[in-house]
Amino acid sequence: MNLRMIGCTHQSTGLDVRQQLAFDPAQTIAALETWQSRFSKAEFVLLSTCNRVELYAAGNGHPTSPDSEQLIDTMLDFHQIPRQKVEGQLLTLADSEVVRHLYRVTASLESMVVGEPQILSQVKQAYQSAQDAGSAGPLLHGLFQSALHTAKRVSSETGLHKHRVSIPSVAIAELASGVFETFDDKHVLVLGAGEMADETLRYLSDAGKPHIHVVNRSLEHGQQLAEKWNGEYHRWDELWEQLAQADLAISTTAATEPLVTAASFAELVAPHRYQRPLFVLDLSVPRDFEPEVGKALGVYLYSLDDLDRACQRNRSARAAELPAAEIIVAQEAENFAVEVNRRATAPVISGLRAGLERPKKAELERLFNKLPDLDEQSRQEIQQFADRLMNKMLHPPLESLRDASQNGTHHGLLEAVRRLFRLED
């Protein structure tokens, strides 16, 4: 296949190195164009996310096609990173290993949270960027299209993506969705502006189009989170007003005491809600909401303990789906290998047929010139005889080539056929 992949993942490389090797969208296009210019006979796709940076390359056997060491140097050179800084932290794969790895990545079997849906769109974007840069050729086109097909099979034929395991994903997909049919136009209040708040909003935005309102003591961090999700920032003293208007409240602060007590909720919030449903995700340790708040009419209060139990149930259900997903990956990887091998043998088979067809036609023409009185039926009989003879002579070598392409042992045979019949000419 002449496929190569070099890169780093959350499984083998620390965050500090991954951050140094990461590519933003503009850098991705620039890097692909640079590498394509340097290795004109090669193909490239670059996948860069917070958890992985992977360069996929394909060559056609040309002497100038880069090997794994050259690919490593190429990636490091772009960021001007010395090799000793990443020694032992980069992953290198070849041929069938590349195929299986990409399939597992795209199907989210290699993700930090197995089954998370974001990686599929990230792979699609990487593939699109390579197309925009003109660095994806026939082999990588086939590989990435097959990987996307594999991911769709895993999603549709297994329950892997139905069982979420991260706390924010379970909170939104299972608990909050049980209260609200849709999140469109819902008033969402976020207390705090840390990573947990950001991740929860990511899942929430995937599920609908809510109105985001962020309350945070730090003006800078609160505004950054609000701007990222097209929301509004509010000062801390507006907490009670926003809580009275909220449909969904997500609390992720680092406060050491409850921010919302049962007494303060009853006095400052409940009279203004008229028993409208309020879904509260208290993701803080210690709690931001007193448990007694959940006893108020229309309030659905869930803490980290409630969510962790749901996550544990989903982890068990997800584990049962993994074998089926791995079977699909293995099937599709085998199908891809067979197709690549078939494409490799097809030009030789066509060349072999064409190489015998030319002398056959020449000899028939010479024979018919010597026998000008032959009737049309006799000419057709001789033509058919020549066709059958050529097909029978071609049958054994063509069968051998097809069989060899099925099991991946065709390379030596292809070279022998090329040399014997001078197909390279």
Read off the pLDDT of residues 379-391 as tens digits, 9 standing for 90 and up: 899 999 988 988 8
Mean pLDDT, the chain, whole residue set: 86
User: At 69, is the pLDDT very low, low, confident or very high (cuts 50, 70, 90)?
Assistant: very high
Lowest mean pLDDT among 67-76, 269-278, 286-295, 354-363: 354-363
Percent of the chain past pLDDT 90, that is, above it, reads 47
pTM for the full predicted model? 0.64
Query: What pLDDT, on a 0 to 100 scale, did the predictor assign at position 172?
Result: 76
Asked if the model's pLDDT at residue 410 lies above 60, the reply is: no
Of the listed ranges 18-27, 145-154, 172-181, 230-239, the least confidently predicted one is 172-181
Residue-level pLDDT at 349:
73
Q: Which residue has the higher pLDDT, 54 or 121?
A: 54
Fold of 167-306: Rossmann fold (3.40.50)
* Whether residue 286 has a cis bond before it, omega within 30° of 0: yes
pLDDT bin (cut points 50, 70, 90) of residue 399 is: confident
Q: Can you tell me whether residue 22 is helix, strand or coil?
A: coil
Domain ranges of the chain: 3-161, 167-306, 339-420
Does 62 score more than 70 pLDDT? no
Residue 42 above 80 pLDDT? yes
Q: Which CATH architecture has domain 3-161?
A: 2-Layer Sandwich (3.30)
Statement: residue 299 has pLDDT above 60: yes
Q: Among residues 11, 10, 1, which one has the least CA distance to residue 94?
A: 1
Specify the pairing of strand 248-251 against strand 187-191: parallel
The pair phi, psi for residue 289, each rounded to 5°, is -115, 130
Confidence of residue 324 (pLDDT cuts 50, 70, 90): very high
Give the pLDDT score at 425: 46
For the cut 90, the answer to whether the pLDDT of residue 154 exceeds it is yes
> What pLDDT does 131 receive?
94
Question: Residue 69, exposed/middle/buried by CB under 10 A (0-12, 13-18, 19+)?
Answer: exposed
Q: What is the pLDDT of residue 93?
A: 94
Query: DSSP assignment of 212-261, as one string?
Result: EEEE-S-HHHHHHHHHHTT-EEE-GGGHHHHHHH-SEEEE----SS-SB-
Q: Tell whether the model's pLDDT for residue 408 goes beyond 60.
A: no
pLDDT (0 to 100) of residue 406: 63
Residues belonging to the active site: 50
What integer is the mean pLDDT of 50-77? 85
What does the pLDDT read at residue 35?
A: 94
Q: What is the mean pLDDT of residues 315-336?
A: 89
What was the pLDDT predicted at 4? 94
User: Does position 180 have pLDDT exceeding 90, yes or no?
Assistant: no
What amino acid is encoded at 127 in this protein?
Y
Q: Which residues, 6 or more positions from 247, have their beta carbon under 8 angstroms from its beta carbon?
A: 180, 186, 187, 188, 210, 276, 277, 278, 279
DSSP characters for 397-418?
HHHHHHHHHHHT--HHHHHHHH
Question: Beta strand pairing status for 211-215 and 278-282?
Answer: unpaired
Average pLDDT score over residue span 369-374: 89
Does the CA dihedral 15-17-20-22 come out positive or negative?
negative
pLDDT above 60 (res 218): yes
Give residue-wise pLDDT tens across range 333-366.
989 988 887 776 767 777 777 778 888 888 888 9
Buried b (16+ CB within 10 A) or exposed e, 326-351: bebbeebbeebbeebbeebbeebbeb
For residue 58, the model assigns a pLDDT of 92
Tell me, rounded to whole angstroms, the distance of Cα 79 from its chain centroid: 24
Average pLDDT over residues 79-99: 90
